[in-house]
Amino acid sequence: DAGVIQSPRHEVTEMGQEVTLRCKPISGHNSLFWYRQTMMRGLELLIYFNNNVPIDDSGMPEDRFSAKMPNASFSTLKIQPSEPRDSAVYFCASRRPDRGRSWETNEKLFFGSGTQLSVL
Amino acid sequence: GQQLNQSPQSMFIQEGEDVSMNCTSSSIFNTWLWYKQDPGEGPVLLIALYKAGELTSNGRLTAQFGITRKDSFLNISASIPSDVGIYFCAGQSGGYQKVTFGTGTKLQVIP
C-alpha cells in the first residue's frame, strides 16, 4: 500500500502567485480531507469530500482557496492569489468506507506527509 | 464551530515516567481518536474509542472516552525517548464522520 501521496513536498512561491497542491488518496478510500497546520492554529480542517463530493467546506479560509476532487484517485487544493499568511503545512488524509466497528479496518484516517508551503 | 482543547500544551518528562494528557470539547463526539505526529510527517493513529466510558489500551498507551462524550484522556506509561512528538486528540461526528483535531500536546522526553 503506497499510502496517501502528496505533492509537492515543499513549495516556495511569491505573494500573488497561484499555488496548487495535489493529493492521491489510498486506493479504495472514499473520504478525503484537507487540513492546514500552523503553530498558532494547530490542525484546521479546510474541506472534506465523500465519494468525490464536497461535504463541508466551512473551514476554507476565503474565496482564494478552492478544492476539487475530479475522481476517486485525485484531489487538488488551489490558492489564488497566495498571501504570506497562507504559509503552513497542508495535509491530505483519506479514509475507507465504514464496514463495521473494528477500528483496525475502518474509521482510520491516513495522512500524507504534507506539503510545506512558504509564501514570500 | 466545534473546538477541542488539549492540555497540557507541552511537557518535559524524564524517561521512565508516566504521562497523562487530556482533551475537552464543547460538543459531543461519537468517536474519539488519538494521533501522534513526528517531525516532518503526518499524524499517525494510536488509539480509537467508540463508546462513552470505554477504556482501551495499545501497548504502553491507554485512552478513555469520557462518560459525557465531551472529553478523553491519553496515558503513556514508562515513557521512552521515541515517545517524543506532538499528540493530538480528534473527535469524529456527524453523518459523514467529520474529524476535528485538538490543539496538540508537545511531549519531550529527557533521557
pLDDT at A36 over 70: yes
From chain A, the residues in CB contact with B42 under 8 A are 4, 91, 93, 111-114
A110 CA to centre of own chain? 12
Give the distance, in angstroms, between the CA of residue B64 and the centroid of all CA atoms in the same chain. Answer: 10
Taking residues A62-87, report their average pLDDT. Answer: 96
* Chain B residues 46-75 within an 8 A CB cutoff of chain A: 48, 50
Higher pLDDT, B96 or A45: A45
**DSSP state at residue A97:** P
pLDDT at A102 over 60: no
**pLDDT higher at B69 or B98:** B69
Among B55, B71, B59, B69, which Cα is nearest to B21's? B71
Averaged pLDDT for residues B93-100: 75
The answer to which of A47-61, A74-88, B83-97 has the lowest mean pLDDT is B83-97
Local confidence band at B109 (pLDDT 50, 70, 90 cut-offs): very high
Helix, strand or coil for residue A64? Answer: coil
- Picking from B40, B42, B50, the nearest residue to A112 by CB comes out as B42
**Rounded distance between C-alpha atoms, residue A86 and residue B21, angstroms:** 30
Confidence of residue B11 (pLDDT cuts 50, 70, 90): very high
Sign of the dihedral through C-alpha B84, A93, A106, B27:
positive
